[in-house]
Amino acid sequence: MKDCYKFNTKVMHDCKGKDAFNALVPPIYTSASYRFNSAEEGGASFRGETNCFIYTRLGNPTTNQLEKRIASLEEGEGAVAFASGMGAISAVFYTLLANGDHIVADKTIYGCTFALLNHGLTKLGIEVTFIDFNEEGALKKALKKNTKAVFFETPANPTLKIIDIETVVKTVKQFNPDIQIICDNTFATPYHQQPITMGVDIVVHSGTKYLNGHGDAICGFVVGRNNFIDQCKMVGLKDMTGAVLGPMEAYLILRGIKTLAIRMERHSQNAMEVAKFLQFHPKVERVYYPGLPGFSGHEIAKKQMKNGFGGILSFVLKGGIDQGIKLIDSVKLINVAVSLGECESLIEHPASMTHSTYTESERLASGIEDGLIRLSVGIEDAGDLIADLSQALEKI
């Protein structure tokens, strides 16, 4: 029966936990550790022979309920929650990679993920190759005998670059089926895109964004096959990062995720309206939004994204960076802030903020130009957002 549930139902009805009092809303289990009935049970629990909770870094009832829900929404076997998206991504890399291994990553990704790959992993003797996954033949050429994983975002932060998931899967698995394909699905969310159903091995998320949706908690997720999730819990989370999600945050995300489908529907509708407005504005040079028919990744986005194209867009004004900064300083309703996927609209300048971890030449080679402005379109009235952008554009 449960398998019949559609996404809009699963966001709140799937994988419900049970507590002693049949509470409808999941209780917050704040206990750091859990009593054993005997020394024997304690030892058996550490050997993985019981279902007992031991210590919240190893598992927590509130967090477990959230993990099951995320796995269900992403169509994965299992999931593990982290204290941040970066905690989740680090744990995946630390679990999969060792000194002498090789990873291939797309060069247009979130700034801190770029820094982790470019500076963090290389420091540990892991070889990292950045390529443009959309360049004909580049991925096949980059794969090597010691390649253990490939990593990409689609849509990518901050240019909304779309990568054809099916092509990546085919190329990589033909070369070596053991190479793990990791997709950051933060921008699309499982409402629009479920990479595991397309052959991706591991999905990562900054749950701080749409999954929570209210900007009041930082968290991350890893979704994948049970054997990898177990390894990720025991190595990446328990022993290496320790980046455990607190039960209070888990509760907030369980609450926020109930409205994921309805929020994403509105985010996407609003982003489409704002993108169309900007596209035809005489002061706008270019708009990056996968929903626009003229956008380079539009056809692939149509193939692999469902129900719309998400709530993020970027644009460049005529006159570039100077005009862009003036626009940011002129909006009244839209907040000047990083992060994304919150109910409120947020505007930022990637080159000096979220992607300042790239050197100028790395950034330009990744298509992140100086004048690029990123807008996370919220769920306010679309007309009010357009009016705000319009008055700001008049000032420049």
CB 207 to ligand PLP: min, Å: 7
CB 157 within 8 A of CB 354: yes
Nearer to ligand PLP (CB atom), residue 71 or residue 109 = 109
- Both tokens of 292, joined, read 């626009």
CB 166 to ligand PLP: min, Å: 21
Residue located via tokens 């159903």: 197
Nearer to ligand PLP (CB atom), residue 164 or residue 184 = 184
- Both tokens of 167, joined, read 């092509």
Sequence-ordered list of residues with C-beta below 8 angstroms from that of 179, at least 6 positions apart, any chain: 143, 147, 148, 149, 150, 172, 173
Nearer to ligand PLP (CB atom), residue 244 or residue 382 = 244
110 is catalytic: yes
Return the closest-CA partner of residue 82 out of 245, 248, 216.
245
- Cα separation, 276 vs 195, whole angstroms: 28
CB 37 to ligand PLP: min, Å: 38
CB 354 to ligand PLP: min, Å: 6
Residue 22, SS3? coil
CB 82 to ligand PLP: min, Å: 8
Chain residues binding ligand PLP by CB under 6 A are 84-86, 110, 112-113, 153, 157, 184, 186, 206, 208, 218, 220
Residue 376, SS3? strand
CB 109 to ligand PLP: min, Å: 7
Nearer to ligand PLP (CB atom), residue 53 or residue 82 = 82
Nearer to ligand PLP (CB atom), residue 161 or residue 233 = 161
Active-site choice (106, 164, 184, 201): 184
Active-site choice (94, 106, 107, 110): 110
Active-site choice (69, 209, 266, 374): 209
Nearer to ligand PLP (CB atom), residue 134 or residue 189 = 189
Reduced DSSP (H G I as helix, E B as strand, rest coil) percent helix, strand, coil of the chain, to 5: 40, 15, 45
- Cα separation, 278 vs 131, whole angstroms: 30
Nearer to ligand PLP (CB atom), residue 26 or residue 341 = 341
Q: Specify the length of the chain in residues.
A: 396
Sequence-ordered list of residues with C-beta below 8 angstroms from that of 269, at least 6 positions apart, any chain: 308, 382
Using CA atoms, how far residue 44 sits from 33, 40, 59, 232, in Å, is 16, 6, 16, 21
- Cα separation, 22 vs 168, whole angstroms: 45
Residue of this chain nearest to ligand PLP (CB atom): 85
CB 140 to ligand PLP: min, Å: 25
57 is catalytic: yes
Active-site choice (57, 68, 258, 326): 57
- Cα separation, 64 vs 80, whole angstroms: 8
209 is catalytic: yes
Q: What is the CA radius of gyration of the chain?
A: 21
CB 57 within 8 A of CB 238: yes
Nearer to ligand PLP (CB atom), residue 213 or residue 382 = 213
CB 330 to ligand PLP: min, Å: 24
Q: What is the strand order of the sheet 373-376 is part of? A: 284-288, 312-317, 373-376, 346-348, 335-336
47 is catalytic: no
> Which residues are identified as catalytic?
57, 110, 184, 209
